[in-house]
Amino acid sequence: MGWFSVWLNVPSHDFDDINYGIWILQVCDELEDMMEEGGNIVDYHGCEFFPERWFDRVVVLQTDNSVLYDRLSNRGYMGPKLTNNIECEIFQVLLEEAKESYPENIVVALRSDCVDDISRNVTSLSDWVRSWHPAS
């Protein structure tokens, strides 16, 4: 099983909708062969543009807003970037995006407030991976 984090280097200028759409298609084209082979874990902060056929499980990590605020503040987030991230969590934007983009039975929300949560998540996901069988 391969694991990779999708680090998308978005150019510093704002995209208009057409150029953003073209850029997303290029990213998906680059990943297609690797994803077609299966057995990958993808780490990214969104999901609406990844094809449904790529995934057997979609995990959304969630955290309490006060915990998130402290984490982001400690990383130097402030102003609109901090506010946008907190509001995104309050309104469960990523969870809703995942539920709208993929079959609801493959979408799982997991708490990620503390080290104990991370340990439980690793155990839960490791158990799922061990029992996972490729779709035929």
DSSP H helices, 9-114, are 17-37, 65-74, 79-90, 93-101
Q: Are residues 39 and 66 in the same domain?
A: no
Together in a domain, 110 and 66:
yes
Please give the share of the chain, as a percent, with pLDDT higher than 90: 59
Instruction: State the total domains in the chain.
Output: 2
Short-list 90, 86, 87, 94, CA closest to 60: 94
Instruction: Write down the pTM of the prediction.
Output: 0.81
**pLDDT tens across 36-75, in order?**
888 888 888 888 888 999 999 999 999 999 999 999 999 9
Give the CA-trace dihedral at 34, 39, 45, 51, to 10 degrees.
60
Q: Which domain holds residue 105?
A: 60-115
